[in-house]
Structure 1
């Protein structure tokens, strides 16, 4: 298992990072675990660099962890990244590279998320969560994206069928293993 000392974080700021809203670190009390639902880290980076808002920013997590355990920071903790509706000002977003439902995210026939999370990726996540818990005194909870965004939307293949908009990190995510190794409980909902 990774240790705090073994964790290396590569700073790789997004081009628009200076346009993201600043926030006091004391208000950060939540980490949200996501999966990219994309095939690889390069595609996730391309998606994160897309400008989607009038502010000149886009959707991105703070940290990305590749399947081999490589950890990159796209957005510093003192900036609000756009990763989960309604929770961004108080949350750190961690994206795990995983295909999820890619490329048929909302197709009712493709809602299974079958890719497991490799040990190296989970070990890096645990090390990062422990580091964040030590660095951010207000940090109190961890949640999955699926816990916070429960909206159901019309399926892309059949608008009469509703599917959950966000399912990540999904059924393959080892919640028990992660929660046993970090000082952060899962956010009660």
Structure 2
């Protein structure tokens, strides 16, 4: 009886793979990134202006040798947290065109204020600040190559599950719309030795070295990357 059952099973599998030859190779096929659902932008806190673009152009020329304020074919997405638990302040800090005198750590780099493309508030709502084709100021050595996302939060522990889910969804949306995007990194990772994205680094001024960062932290980035891989087939 056992021998007869084995013979029948063998015949079944031979017929199955004869009828469906692609089935055995299905798992070997690369998985294309899934198109994310339409991302809802909760609000626009526009910080772009002719004056900011002019100052950004000066910054880009000084640091990258680029006489332009435009961000063309971004290769990176850098994720940060704002250092405050206030949603209001997380937006307002980017509003001035010129850098605050309180930013003595980076004031030698230029007059243009810090700026990113998106801020994610504590409830997970996504706010747009800069157009994606405009350079921000959020990561020394990479602003000419990188889009930037900030999440309201004073520490990694203060980042909410809603923010992490929204950040992953936004990152997937950006990756889908920008085929040039190769790297999604946390700010704390931006100067880590051995990282492939270091090939994108550029800084003409030896008196303006990168600063040490700890946001958003390994745990936050791990959770974001897990969602990107699981729900959107995005691995960067």
TM-score if structure 1 supplies the norm length?
A: 0.72
Counterpart CA distance in 1 for 2:112 and 2:78 is 20
Cα distance between partner residues in 1 of 2:37 and 2:72: 20
Write out the 4+ residue segments of structure 1 that deviate beyond 6 Å after TM superposition. Answer: none
Cα RMSD after superposing both structures: 2.4
Answer 1 or 2: which has greater helix percent.
2
**Where does the alignment leave 5 or more consecutive residues of structure 1 unmatched?**
101-112, 151-163
3-state DSSP of counterpart to 2:214: coil
Contact map agreement 1:41 1:97 (CA 8 A) in 2: yes
Aligned residues: 155
| Distance verdict in 2 for CA 1:40–1:143, change over 3 Å | same
1:74 pairs with one of 113, 124, 129: 129
Aligned to 2:85: 39
In the TM superposition, residue 48 of structure 1 has moved relative to its aligned partner by 1.1
Counterpart in 1 of 2:161? 119
Alignment of 1:9-158 (within 5 A): 9-14=42-47, 16=49, 17-19=52-54, 20-21=56-57, 22-26=69-73, 28-50=74-96, 51-52=98-99, 57-100=112-155, 113-115=156-158, 117-149=159-191
Structure 1 equivalent of residue 3 of structure 2: none
Q: Is the 8 A contact 1:140 1:184 kept in 2?
A: no
More strand by share: 1
Whole-angstrom CA distance in 1 between matches of 2:176 and 2:154: 30
- The structure with the larger Rg is 2
Verify the 8 A CA contact 1:32 1:142 in the aligned structure 2: yes
Does 2:235 match 1:184? yes
Distance apart, 1:9 and its partner CA: 4.7
Distance (whole Å) between structure 2 residues aligned to residue 78 and residue 167 of structure 1:
27
Judge conservation of contact 2:113–2:137 (CA < 8 Å) in 1.
Answer: yes
Residue 39 of structure 1 and its aligned partner are, at CA, apart by 2.4
After superposing the two structures, state which structure 1 stretch, 85-94 or 38-47, moved more: 38-47
The change in CA–CA distance for 1:171 and 1:179 in structure 2 (over 3 A counts) is closer
Does structure 2 retain, via aligned residues, the 8 Å contact 1:84–1:149?
no
**Contact map agreement 1:33 1:169 (CA 8 A) in 2:** yes
- The residue number in structure 1 matching 2:37 is 4
Separation of aligned partners in 1, 2:70 and 2:235 = 21
Contact 1:34 1:145 in 2 (8 A): yes
Deviations 1:78-132 (A, max 9, x none): 11100000000000010011112xxxxxxxxxxxx542x2121111111101110
Q: 1:9 to 1:76 in 2, by over 3 A?
A: farther
In the TM superposition, what is the alpha-carbon distance from 1:77 to its structure 2 partner? 0.9
Q: 1:114 to 1:121 in 2, by over 3 A?
A: closer
